[in-house]
Amino acid sequence: MTTLRSPLSDPPRTSPDHAGTPRPERPRARIPVRSRIARITLLTALTVLSLLWLLPTYLIVVNAFTATDAYDGSANWWITAPDLFGNIAAAFEMASVGQGMLNSLLYATVSAAAAVLISAAAGFAVIVMPVRHPAVWFWAIYLGTILPLQMFLAPLFKAYASISLYDTQLGMVAVYTAMTIPFAFFVIRNYLTTVPVEMREAAALDGAGWAKTFFLIHLPLARSALLAAFVFQFTWVWNDLIFGITLSTSPNIRPVMATLSDLNGNYSTVGPPVALAGALIASLPTVLLFFIFQRFFVSSLKLSN
C-alpha cells in the first residue's frame, strides 16, 4: 500500500548515514613541500641541540656511577663498574656534603623568602603608590644585577671581618638576601604592572590603606610571580660558589657548592667520580623545586611578558 503525501508537506528527513550513502569527506589541505622541509629541518635542529645540551649531564651521570678504582682519568661513555652509593658515601664523609646541603637549604629558603617579600613591597611602592621618580627607584634597585659580583668581594670581606659577620650563618643570609633582591624586584614589579588600577581605586573607596591593599589584594594576586621569583632566587643561592668560598671557612657554615669544591681541590684525595656523585645529589633539590612549581613558574613569566 502506497502512502500519498501532499506536495505542501515537508519532505521526509533522512540522515546520510541511514540512507546508505557515505558522507563526502572534506579535502585535506595539502602542506606545501617547502613547509614540510622547513618543519623537518627545524625538528632535526631542535633534536640535535637537545642532545648536545644533555650530553654534559649524561657524562656526569655515567662518571658518577663509575667506581673510583675503575676510573682511569678519562671520561667514560658507558657504565662499566657501577659504585654510585659508594661515591656518595665518600662525598658525604670526606667533604661534609650533607652538612653543606643543610646550610644551603637554610640560606636559600630564608634568603629567597626575605628577598621576595622585600621585592614585592618595593614593586608595590614603585608601581602602585604615588612615589616621585619611580623610574629612578627602579634603576637604583635593578642596578644590582648589572654590576659584576666580583667587585663586591673585597669590600664585603673587609666589612664582614670588621663587624664579626665573617664565617657566620647570619652573614651568609644577609649577603644572599641583598644579592637576590634586584632580580626578584624585576620579576614582581613587571607582574604588578598587569594588575588593573581599578583594584587600588576600589580598595581606596572601601577605606583600605596602603598596607591593607598590599597584603590583602596585590600580594595574593601576585602569588604566581612570587613563587617564580622564589624559585629563581632559591636556585641562585643554592648554586652559589663565589660568596660561599669567600665569606665562610667552617664546615658547619659553608654552603654545599663550597664543600663540593673541596672535593676537587688541589689537596683532595678522592677521584672525580666522588665529586661528580656529590654534585649529582646536590643538584636534586633545585630540580625537584622547579618541577613542583613549574605551573606557577610558566604562568608568571607569561603574564610578566
The pLDDT tens digits of the residues spanning 95-138 come to 788 899 999 999 999 999 999 999 999 999 998 888 888 888 88
Residue 142 has pLDDT above 90, yes or no: no
205 burial via Cβ count (<10 Å: 0-12, 13-18, 19+): exposed
The model's pLDDT over 168-207, given as tens digits with 9 standing for 90+, comes to 999 999 999 999 999 999 989 888 888 888 888 888 888 8
Span 2-29, average pLDDT: 53
If one counts every other C-beta atom within 10 angstroms of the C-beta of residue 178, the result is: 16
Residue 296 has pLDDT above 80, yes or no: no
Specify the higher pLDDT residue, 8 or 37.
Answer: 37
Alpha carbon 166 to chain centroid, angstroms: 29
DSSP secondary structure code for residue 138 in this structure: H
Which pLDDT score is estimated for 39? 86
pLDDT band (50, 70, 90) for residue 304: low
Residues in CB range of 244: below 8 A, 6 or more apart: 172, 254, 255, 257, 258
How many Cα atoms are found within 13 Å in the side-chain-facing hemisphere of 287? 7
Q: Which fold has domain 99-255+285-304?
A: MetI-like fold (1.10.3720)
Residue 47 has pLDDT above 80, yes or no: yes
pLDDT band (50, 70, 90) for residue 1: very low
Domain range annotation of the chain: 99-255+285-304
Measure the CA angle with vertex 227, ends 299 and 236; round to 5°: 110
Percent of the chain with pLDDT over 70: 84
Q: pTM for this structure?
A: 0.77
**Cell triple for 291:** 618541577
Which pLDDT score is estimated for 268? 58
Which pLDDT score is estimated for 263? 77
What residue has cell string 659584576? 148
The model's pLDDT over 203-262, given as tens digits with 9 standing for 90+, comes to 888 888 888 888 888 888 888 889 889 998 999 999 999 999 999 999 899 999 998 887
